[in-house]
Amino acid sequence: MSSGIDAADLKEIRHSDSGPDVRERPDATAAPPRLPRGVRALTTGVCALVVLCIVASVAHVLLVFLHVAPANTVSKRYSSQINAWVFPFFEQNWRLFAPDPESVNRQILARTAHTDAGGSFEVSPWVDLTAVDGSAVEHHVFPSHTAQNMLRRAWSGYVDSHGGDDTARTERAVMMRTYLTNIAADRLAAQRGHTFDFVQLRVVTRPVAAPGSRAGTRPPKPSENRLLPWWKVTRHAG
């Protein structure tokens, strides 16, 4: 037997005398660590972009709804703002439910003119824009919406706003004329690659013949050849 206290017992007594083993715990009320400045700026920008997209989407849906809804006090009062937003890119119609198939074939041609330093007026040959669109659609499994509808819808909008007269009397008529002119100018600049200042369009309308035996009993309708005036455009250089 040992009459004294050995080293192990002495270590245990000293440990117990020092009190309980208390470990430090993080303070739950302490402020969280601050993110770097770049991360905070990126987070703020993303949040602002999301809010902007939501506001723009709601405004777009509201304006389109007012455009297609029956005429009311709000749509009449803000008709100019609604039309400025909807036309020509967000125009809506009911042709999906009541289709109106084309009864004529339209051939849209365009040519350019340029005034040189000597004052002479140089005119280019006609370019068949409809044929260019047709070649982009034919034999393509998934033809683009631009090749199928842009030029055709631009001409339909021009006719709806001008009728048989080429004088623009409303803001929408001016917008549709500018829209049609820009389409023709951009396509001619990409295809011809030369400088020009004016654009002119010619539209040849040919009726679609009736199918079957009815075609022989009706006299063929004459074709319509409509020559539009020269329009000044922003100088295009190839």
Query: Tens-digit pLDDT profile for the chain (238 aa)?
Result: 455 555 555 455 455 555 555 555 555 565 566 767 777 788 888 999 999 999 999 999 998 888 888 888 888 888 888 888 887 777 776 665 656 677 788 999 999 998 877 778 889 999 999 999 988 888 888 888 788 889 988 998 899 888 888 888 888 899 899 999 999 999 998 887 778 899 999 999 988 877 765 555 666 677 889 999 999 988 665 5
Give Cα separations from 136 to 46, 126, 146, 149, 156 (angstroms). 39, 19, 10, 12, 20
State the Rg of the chain over Cα: 37
| Strand-pair partners of 232 | 198
For the stretch 211-233, pLDDT in tens is 765 555 666 677 889 999 999 98
Query: pLDDT of 38-83, one tens digit each?
Result: 777 888 889 999 999 999 999 999 988 888 888 888 888 888 888 8
